[in-house]
Amino acid sequence: MPAQLATIVECGYAIWAGDTVAPDIRARFDREHIPVVGVRNVRVWGLQVDDERELPGLERTQMPDEELWEVNLEAINGSKYEFDSTLLKPAPKR
């Protein structure tokens, strides 16, 4: 688990790391302390293509695996939403 995500999990609350998330979605959550209710590790398997007809001149093309961390957040109304961990940072201590 990345260090910043471990800090979010330890504190139990997150805030948005920037303005990437649409304002109407961000409005569903507390501005200063968004409760973290779960974390999930997702591995996206890479791709290997061995067919030269599909990619001329490249008989073997490989895309690496990707590891993602999803954080489950609780909205003000109690609904739960999953977000990529890179969109979040630890909430400041109260």
The model's pLDDT over 30-69, given as tens digits with 9 standing for 90+, comes to: 999 999 999 999 887 776 666 656 656 655 666 777 888 9
Domain ranges within the chain, ordered by starting residue = 3-90
The model's pLDDT over 72-81, given as tens digits with 9 standing for 90+, comes to: 999 999 999 9
Alpha helices in the chain (DSSP H): 3-11, 23-26
Please report which helix (H) or strand (E) contains residue 74, including its range: strand 66-74
**CA 70 to CA 60: how far, in whole Å?**
31
Q: Model pTM? A: 0.76
First to last CA, the chain: 25
Do residues 14 and 73 touch, judged by C-beta distance below 8 A? yes
